Copies of this chain bind each other. A is one copy, B any other.
Amino acid sequence: MPATPTADLDSLTPGARRILDTASRLFYEQGIHAVGVDTIAAESGVTKRTLYDRFGSKDGLVTAYLRSRDRRWRSMIEARLGEAGADPLPRILAPFDVLPLWLDECTRGCSFINAFGELHDGDHPGRDVIVEEKTWLLDHFRTSLTQAGIVEPEPLAVQLLSLHEGAIVAYSITSAAGAAEAAHAAARSLVELALTSQGTR
């Protein structure tokens, strides 16, 4: 039994691994409140007792679900960032490069946005994970824009964040074809516009 009931994602027992995988799938497909712990345990081939021994509570499992999802997404971005090197523009646009891949498995919307709508409780630990994820992305835009020489990055960073999040929403609800590519192109235009208009001032 782990010392803390909040599971460490790096050292999951085989049962815990299966529970988290099953829960991730069901939470994403059906919503967090719509899925019961009995269902998760049954579909994981595990008893409810094991679930509670590993994750402490349903809220603990929800938080682990969000943390693992966050980690996977960030590792995708960081891999792209590694390829991008020191060039500022590719660094700024890295999240938009990853977006088509991410959207492939996000046909039911962004797991974070969906969860945020369900977790009304202001002090639910899962909310922090979500806010942190979006804040991290906003920080990434702000930092990389500054590195590119944009002196007032704030409004542009917010615009890029909006484009990024909106593309996921637009794609999942209206099935708009090429939403990721369109968002990528718009992001590039806005950044280039900011660079040139700043240079010619």
Is the CB of A126 closer than 8 A to any CB of chain B?
A: no
Interface size on A, residues (CB 8 A): 48
Selecting from A14-22, A52-60, A64-72, A153-161, the interface stretch reads: A153-161
Once the chains bind, are B31 and A34 in contact (CB under 8 Å)?
no
Once the chains bind, are B162 and A179 in contact (CB under 8 Å)?
yes
CA distance A163 to B163 in the complex (A): 5
- Contact partner, A169, options B34, B155, B169, B173, Cβ 8 Å: B169
- Contact partner, A176, options B161, B169, B179, Cβ 8 Å: B161
Is the CB of A189 closer than 8 A to any CB of chain B?
A: yes
CA distance A131 to B176 in the complex (A): 11
Could you say which residues of chain B place their CB within 8 Å of the CB of A161? Answer: 166, 170, 174, 176
Residues 21-46 of A, flagged 1 when their CB comes within 8 A of B and 0 if not, give 00000000111011000000000000
